Structure formats: structure tokens, C-alpha cells
Amino acid sequence: MEIETQETYDIMAVCLLAGKIMLQSGAETYRVEDTMMRIAASFGAYQSHPYVTPTGILFSVEGSEPTKTKLIRIVERTTDLEKVAQVNGISRKISAGEFTIEEAYKELKRISETGSPYSLWIHVLAAAISSGCFLIMFQGTWGDFIPAFITGGLGFLSLLYFHQLVPIKFFSEFSASLLIGLQALFFVSTGIGDELDKIIIGSVMPLVPGLLITNAVRDLMAGHLISGLAKGADAFLTAFAIGAGIAVIFSLT
């Protein structure tokens, strides 16, 4: 199939938007590349080469005309699995021929502009509940459930708040874990909580970079060495920030 120059650029725009949403929402590198290639192929651009790293996407499409290449930069990365699933669904529909280029672009634009499916308070509540549950899973007593619940919830809330205040991940994670430690210390010293260790471990769990670790491993195994190492470094930094925040508490006790 012959494709026109303008059409090639349109295809690239759709692919890049899809790739950008997925990468920013925390998809694995190979999934981003695969999705971009599939979309391009189903619109008739059979020769495409995406190069995806956590901080940018290079995409080039070959055709009868000279090869076209575009680069987009990814600055902000969050975790939004709903968007990953939605873009995945759109890519399936495009492969099935249900969308034209224009429709696909509009649909992707709509996804990129929608916010999180859960409100802030549901996030905080989820963090609080999971903290309490992790406490029980790590052999804590039910008496410590409420302290862990409060500490975990407030810790997660402070993570979001600090991140808004200063967009440096290390700082917000460090401050959040410091705050968690202080709260746990407060609960234990007032006699409401019993085991300091268990409360801290449970409450820190919502900050743990679980998605980054799994993604880093999957990327490394799929041969995306640069992305894998970068995500691993990111996960290590987060773990270090949490550890450093808690370490301050130890030096207090």
C-alpha cells in the first residue's frame, strides 16, 4: 500500500501519542514498542522502528519516501495502570480495523486528558487499608492495626503533598518516610502502638517501588538493557530514600 507523506506523519502522531501515554503511565518498554509497531503496521506503515527509553521515544517510519523520524521527550512519569489497559484496548481495536487514524487520535487524546479513576481520598484510604493489612501479614498484632492504618494513610498523603510542593522524587519520598517514622514513634511512645518495627514496615509498604522493580526485571529480560537499568536505578533511589528517612528515626531512638 502506498502511503502519502501527510498520512505518514499522521500515523506517527498516533503512534507517538499512544507510546507517550503508555510510557508515562508505567508500562513496560517492550509493550510500548510493540504497541507502536502494531498501530503503525495496521495503518499501513509496515517498516517502523521505535526506540523507547524511560525518558524519551525515538520513532522512525520507512516508506517509499525518505525515512521520517520523530523524537519526543518524556519528563513526568506516574503510575496509571488504567491508562495502560485503555491504550492496549485501543491498539487491539486499531489492529482489528475498527478505528481510522483520526478517530484513533481523538480517542487517545481523550484518554491522555482524563484524570485518575479514583479520587485522592480513595487513594489515601487504599494506602491506609493496605498498610494495616501488611502489618497483619507481617505477623503484627491487631492492636497495632489502627496505628498502622493512620500512619500509612497520612504517610501516603504527605508523599503526594510533598511531591506537589517540590517535584523531586527523592525529597518527597524521604520526607514521607521520615513522617511515617515520627508517627510510629509517637504511637509507640504514647502506648497506643506496641511494636515500632512492624508499624513502620507496614506503613512504608505503599511507598515501595514495586511496579518499578517488576518493570525493571521484565525490561532487562526482554533485552531492553538501558530501560531496565534506568528503572532499576530509579527503584534503588526510591528504596534508598525510604531507608534514609527511617534511618533518621533510628538515630532518634
Among 67, 197, 223, 225, binds other proteins (CB under 8 A): 197
Among 18, 36, 48, 80, binds other proteins (CB under 8 A): 80
Among 31, 36, 99, 185, binds other proteins (CB under 8 A): 31
Among 10, 28, 173, 234, binds other proteins (CB under 8 A): 28
For the record, the C-alpha cell of 62 comes out as 520507512
For the record, the C-alpha cell of 87 comes out as 491504550
User: What per-residue string of b and e applies to 240-253 under the rule 16 or more CB within 10 Å gives b?
Assistant: ebbeebbeebeeee
CA pair distance 108, 68, nearest whole angstrom: 22
Does residue 112 belong to the site contacting other proteins (CB under 8 A)? no
By CB under 8 A, the count of residues binding other proteins is 51
Does residue 92 belong to the site contacting other proteins (CB under 8 A)? yes
Q: How far is the CB of 132 from other proteins (least distance, A)?
A: 8
Using the contact rule CB under 8 A, the part of the chain among 10-18, 56-64, 102-110, 112-120 near other proteins is 112-120
Q: Answer whether 20's CB lies under 8 Å from 33's CB.
A: no
Does residue 36 belong to the site contacting other proteins (CB under 8 A)? no
What string of DSSP letters covers 80-146? -HHHHHHHHHHHHHHHTT---HHHHHHHHHHHHH---SS-HHHHHHHHHHHHHHHHHHTT--GGGHH
How do 56-62 and 68-73 pair as beta strands?
antiparallel
Q: Which is nearer to other proteins, 14 or 124 (CB)?
A: 124
Q: How far is the CB of 107 from other proteins (least distance, A)?
A: 16
For the record, the C-alpha cell of 131 comes out as 498498610
The enclosing H or E element of 230 equals: helix 225-252
The binding site for other proteins (CB under 8 A) comprises 26-28, 31, 79-86, 88-89, 92, 116-118, 122-123, 126-127, 129-130, 133-134, 136-138, 156, 197, 200-201, 204-206, 208, 210-211, 213-215, 217-218, 221, 239, 243, 246-247, 250-251
